[in-house]
Structure 1
Amino acid sequence: MFLTQYSSSLASSRRVGRGLALASLFLLAAPAGWAAPASATAGAPAGAASAAPPVVSAAKQALIDKLLTLWHPEQVAQMMVNRPAAEAVQHSRIALQGRVSAEKLESTMKGIAEDAKAYVDAATPLAEAAGKQAVRTTAVPMLADQFSEEELKALIVLLESPVRQKFEKAAPDIEGAVGADVARRAGPAIQPQLDKMKQEVAGKLRAAAMTR
């Protein structure tokens, strides 16, 4: 049901920590796959990879280090690992719905979920190690170049603000209450549209499979 699916989605979002919530801002720029996009290197000048990093004062470096203890942008690497696994499970369920029995669907999905978990378990250490390195080689120079010491101090004050922390703690409950109210008000009208969309997608998948 629409309400059940919304609640499940909300429960997943609540498990995202503050660092992941901040890091999620970077997903808009994250590559869809794990191959480096051509645009990332095509325009780079020769020798750019070996260029010396900018010199950062000890005071500014200390502020950047403090900011990173509050922010954790390296956690975007874990999100990049999790996203294709979640999409694989979701797309597999959609592809199987209406084509196999309910019992076969659940048993197959259990195996697919195990495959997805095995991928996540194997990829996570690699992504975490790369994330830590990327912070030092990418995030730190960008912060040093784009923010002054005063701006870094202001960012730290913002991230440490008790009011901000209180808001972040309250936000999931507020959003959940709004979502539940939306589901109550619009769920009965949306559910038929959702069912129709699923049926049409399943029909197109069946037709494509039969005409291969």
Structure 2
Amino acid sequence: AHESFEDPEIAALMNGAFVCIKVDREERPDLDAIYMGAVQAMNGHGGWPMTVFLTPDGEPFYAGTYFPPEDRHGLPGFPRLLQGMAEAWAERRDEVLQQGGRIAATIAGQSSFAASRDPLSADVLSNALSQLTRAFDREWGGFGPAPKFPQPMTFEFLLRMDARGHPGALEMVTTTLDRMVFGGIYDQLGGGFHRYSTDGKWLVPHFEKML
């Protein structure tokens, strides 16, 4: 995020077309949880840094995680994204407001569900494994396009599915971990893993380590 926010041209775009608010998720976990729900609803996954575009009523109409300062690895550059959002608000405001209302309703619906105490069925587990298999990058490991995040809970699930005899589950874990340990996301000098990789090959890390 710093590489974009500290760029004078990007800062000018942000301040010229938007009311910019930076939220510390450690101080406001309530807001983080609400808008992370929007990111996940729109993208199927979440993460940080988190960028959310809101209507004046606070309803999210577009959201994502990492956006590079220029077009990179199939991701739109942050300046192009800002221009697109500003144009959408100026030229298609009714559509934007409708989108915000739909996403807000989705988030409200998610928060109304109570956690089930029933054990997960075999069908639910198999469907989850199938979705991960479809998203798996067989060459470079990980799931989906860049940016790629370490996903320890996903690895734990796959190891449990391997123990149940599901073929291919272990390969997704070992391939991903092998690519990570030999990639730039692993700190070859200080040890440990950086927060995520900005590219799909685990080569270009986001230089931050989360405790």
Shorter-chain-normalised TM-score: which range?
under 0.3
TM-score (norm 1): 0.27
Higher relative contact order (CA 8 A, sep 6+): 1
**In proportion to residue count, which structure has more helix?**
1
**In proportion to residue count, which structure has more strand?**
2
TM-score (norm 2): 0.27
